[in-house]
Amino acid sequence: MDVVVDNVSQVWAGRHGTSVVALDHFSHRFRSRRFTCLLGPSGCGKSTLIQIVGGLEQATSGSIRIVDPERPGAGRPLGVDSVMMWQNLNLFPWRSVIDNVAFGLEMAGVRRAERYDKARALIASVGLRGFELHLPGQLSGGMRQRVALARALIMERPILLMDEPFAALDAQTKIVMQEELLRIFDATRKTVLFVTHAIEEAILLGDEVVVMTARPGRIKEIIAVDLPRPRSLEMVNSPQFGALFDRVFHLIREEVMKTMEQQAAAASA
Amino acid sequence: MPSTTHRIARFAETVLPTASVVLFLVGWETFVRLGEIAPIYLPAPSSIAVYLVRMVADGSMIINLGITLLRIVVGFLLASVFGVLLGVLMGMSRILARVADIWIAALYPLPKISLIPLLIIWLGTGEAYKILISAVTAFFPVVISTYAGIQRADRGLIKAAKDLGANARQIQFKVVIPSAVPSIFAGLQLGMGVTIILVVAAEMIGGSSEGGMGYLLINAGQVMETEKVFASLIVLAVMGAVIIKLQQWADRKLAPWASLEHGR
């Protein structure tokens, strides 16, 4: 499934009748079965964008189409082909691991035995066998990430939207989860939209890095990452990786500086 | 290696609470005996204990305690069912919330105990009055906490459920109401506290011979059987503590997740 974003703007109403432009005429075609990272400073509207793609926020203007490249005529409604993995995970604290993972199937009316079978298989595949009946609050941060990942994957939707899912993890756990995600991507080849503000993560995971400007969020530059797959963490040390990192780093640095100037101006005003 | 001062502190922490109670009782007993205080004013702990045992043995304590407990349970259940129901409905209907809000704002601050004369006029001093006064009082904290819990439902969880294909009804029953459970339990605990107070108060004011701990207290007081007054107070205090602890235990059993941090 391609995600065709056409001229999408998002304007939030601020206090005292002011308004904040989060996204400014954003257009991009996210290609099927490709891993695209959205990279930008805080507040550039990248989280907003994937929520709009997921049908969870309404854009102020512009349109989004989900297009099957094999049947380019028929557009599909937003939300039915995608599933989100959230920055703060949004696991249901009163539900056990298995009931969290099976939530989507339960909502769809799938019988208990059937949805538990599927959920058990997925829980095992993310390495949480034996924790089916634990509550999210009894798990470590990394384990909760796996639950959230399994809960998204069980939906078997072709588009995976990820909103800085690993931002809150410690460095070691983050590495493990990145490897896990690379493995899953190689196995399933979903269309992934991955929001992050970590340059290294964007290059390591993505086929393409969309670098965004500070508020208002526009596309600053699109960097193709031609590192071979399957990827591994050792690639971080390759000269090719280093060159990409430098390029992205300078783009991002400009934007961060701009944000800081904006904030300084706003503070002194 | 734990230092000596540390060990003394640990010892003091475990022993002092009990020791303070024992010391208090011994002091009380000595004061009454040496001062030759009339038992009408202040009976010695030992004679209170004798009365307590006697009242348990002749069944008067057990029967009155049972009657009071029954009234508490009925009053609390009425308040819980209607309070939670209205709170949830208010969370689902903005119009109902607006209408109910006026009534709650007007009636909540009113000391419910001031309704006792009116209720006695309408209902007499029988069971209906005692149960209604306690249920009405407990109803308010329950409905307010329930509604607050529903309103504070996590937007992120609602969005996540929507993303996973939940419809509006499923979001209400599978996300919004469960997420209000800690708040509902807090309301039920407040409700239980006031139910106990109002049942005993109603039993004292009713003045009829229908029994209950409040009746036992007021009767013993009127004939200056101060030992019986103290014995009843002790039983009431223990009853309250046991009910509250039981409720906290049930809450932890029913919703263990509510006490876990970082639930999401």
Question: Is the pLDDT at B62 greater than 60, yes or no?
Answer: yes
To the nearest whole number, what is the mean pLDDT of chain B?
A: 91
Residue A261: the pLDDT is 85
Q: SS3 for B126?
A: coil
Beta bridge partners of A79: none
Domain that holds residue B189: 44-258
Residue B262: the pLDDT is 45
Give residue-wise pLDDT tens across range A18-77: 888 889 999 999 999 999 999 988 777 899 999 999 999 999 999 999 988 787 777 788
B239 torsion bin: left (phi>0), alpha (psi -120 to 50), beta (else): alpha
Dist CA B170 CA B173 (whole Å): 5
Q: pLDDT tier at B264 (50, 70, 90 boundaries)?
A: very low
What tokens appear for B185 in the block?
A: 């339990």
H/E stretch holding A76 reads strand A71-76
Dist CA B32 CA A219 (whole Å): 87
Task: Please indicate, yes or no, if residue B61 is contained in any of the structural domains.
Answer: yes
Dist CA B255 CA B185 (whole Å): 9
Task: Please indicate, yes or no, if residue A136 is contained in any of the structural domains.
Answer: no
Share of chain B above pLDDT 90, in %: 76
Phi, psi of B208 (to 5 degrees): -85, 180
Q: Mean pLDDT of successive 10-residue segments in chain A (269 residues)?
A: 92 82 92 94 87 94 88 80 95 97 97 97 95 95 94 96 92 92 94 94 96 89 93 92 95 87 82
Pairing of strands A191-196, A19-30: unpaired
Indicate which of A107, A110, A161, A164 best probes the interface with B, i.e. most B CBs within 10 Å of its own CB.
A107
The helix-helix angle for A141-153 and A171-188 (nearest 10°) equals 20
Among B159, B167, B170, the residue with its CB nearest the CB of A56 is B159
Task: Please indicate, yes or no, if residue A46 is contained in any of the structural domains.
Answer: yes
Residue B209: the pLDDT is 64
Contacts of A108 in chain B (CB under 8 A): 165
Q: pLDDT tier at B14 (50, 70, 90 boundaries)?
A: confident
Question: Is the pLDDT at B75 greater than 90, yes or no?
Answer: yes
Contacts of A81 in chain B (CB under 8 A): none
Residue B217: the pLDDT is 93
Task: Please indicate, yes or no, if residue A253 is contained in any of the structural domains.
Answer: yes
Selection from A189, A141, A131, A199 nearest residue A165 by Cα:
A141
| A245 Cβ under 8 Å from any chain B Cβ | no
Task: Please indicate, yes or no, if residue B29 is contained in any of the structural domains.
Answer: no
Give residue-wise pLDDT tens across range B168-207: 999 999 999 999 999 999 999 999 999 999 999 999 986 6
Residue A257: the pLDDT is 87
Task: Please indicate, yes or no, if residue A260 is contained in any of the structural domains.
Answer: yes
Residue A134: the pLDDT is 96
Selection from A196, A90, A110, A185 nearest residue A155 by Cα:
A110
CA gyration radius, chain A: 19
Among A92, A104, A107, the residue with its CB nearest the CB of B157 is A92
Question: Which residue matches tokens 């504070």?
Answer: B152
Residues in chain A: 269
Residue B174: the pLDDT is 96
Task: Please indicate, yes or no, if residue B32 is contained in any of the structural domains.
Answer: no
What tokens appear for A254 in the block?
A: 């400009």
A-B Cβ pairs (cutoff 8 Å, strict): 75
| B256 Cβ under 8 Å from any chain A Cβ | yes
Query: What b/e string do you get for B154-173 counting C-beta neighbours within 10 Å, with b at 16 or more?
Result: beebbbbbbbbbbeeebbbe
| CATH code (residue A177) | 3.40.50.300
Task: Please indicate, yes or no, if residue A116 is contained in any of the structural domains.
Answer: no
Task: Please indicate, yes or no, if residue B126 is contained in any of the structural domains.
Answer: yes
Contacts of A142 in chain B (CB under 8 A): none
Residue B3: the pLDDT is 75
Do B264 and A136 count as a contact with CB atoms less than 8 A apart? yes
Contacts of B178 in chain A (CB under 8 A): 92, 94
What is the domain count for chain B? 1
Residue B157: the pLDDT is 97
Q: Are B258 and B74 in contact (CB under 8 A)?
A: no
What tokens appear for A199 in the block?
A: 């340059």
Give residue-wise pLDDT tens across range B194-204: 999 999 999 99
Residue B189: the pLDDT is 95
The DSSP code for B122 is: H
**Closest approach of chain A CAs to the CA of B147, in angstroms?**
19
Phi, psi of B211 (to 5 degrees): 80, -175
Which residues have CB under 8 Å from A174's CB, separation 6+? A166, A201
Residue A38: the pLDDT is 96
Q: Which amino acid makes up residue A41?
A: P
Instruction: Report the first-to-last Cα separation within chain B, whole angstroms.
Output: 39
Long-range contacts at A222-227 (CB < 8 A, ≥ 24 apart)? A222/A28, A223/A247, A223/A248, A227/A203
Alpha carbon separation from A142 to A5, A19, A34, A89, B262 (Å, rounded): 32, 38, 25, 11, 13
Tell me the ipTM for this assembly: 0.91
Selection from A167, A224, A228 nearest residue A198 by Cα:
A167
Do A86 and B160 count as a contact with CB atoms less than 8 A apart? yes
What is the domain count for chain A? 1
Do B163 and A135 count as a contact with CB atoms less than 8 A apart? no
Q: pLDDT tier at B2 (50, 70, 90 boundaries)?
A: low
Selection from A89, A183, A179 nearest residue A139 by Cα:
A89
Task: Please indicate, yes or no, if residue A101 is contained in any of the structural domains.
Answer: no
B72 torsion bin: left (phi>0), alpha (psi -120 to 50), beta (else): alpha
| CATH code (residue B187) | 1.10.3720.10
Contacts of B159 in chain A (CB under 8 A): 51, 56, 90
**Closest approach of chain B CAs to the CA of A147, in angstroms?**
11
Question: Which residue matches tokens 């891993």?
Answer: A35
Alpha carbon separation from A263 to A40, A205, A267 (Å, rounded): 16, 31, 6
Q: Are A135 and A143 in contact (CB under 8 A)?
A: no
Residue B207: the pLDDT is 61
Question: Is the pLDDT at B263 greater than 50, yes or no?
Answer: no
Question: Which residue matches tokens 């065709």?
Answer: A4
What tokens appear for B255 in the block?
A: 């919703």
Kindly report the pTM of this predicted structure.
0.86
Alpha carbon separation from A88 to A84, A200, B180 (Å, rounded): 11, 21, 19
| A79 Cβ under 8 Å from any chain B Cβ | yes
Domain that holds residue A182: 2-81+157-268
Dist CA B234 CA B253 (whole Å): 28
Dist CA B117 CA B108 (whole Å): 18
**Closest approach of chain B CAs to the CA of A253, in angstroms?**
31
Residue B208: the pLDDT is 61
Give residue-wise pLDDT tens across range B212-231: 999 999 999 999 999 999 99
H helices present in chain A, as ranges:
46-53, 97-101, 103-107, 112-125, 141-153, 171-188, 199-205, 239-268
**Closest approach of chain B CAs to the CA of A41, in angstroms?**
22
Dist CA B119 CA B134 (whole Å): 11
Dist CA A33 CA A183 (whole Å): 14
Dist CA B257 CA A93 (whole Å): 6
SS3 breakdown of chain B: % helix, strand, coil, rounded to 5?
85, 0, 15
Question: Which residue matches tokens 């057990």?
Answer: B62
Contacts of B154 in chain A (CB under 8 A): 90
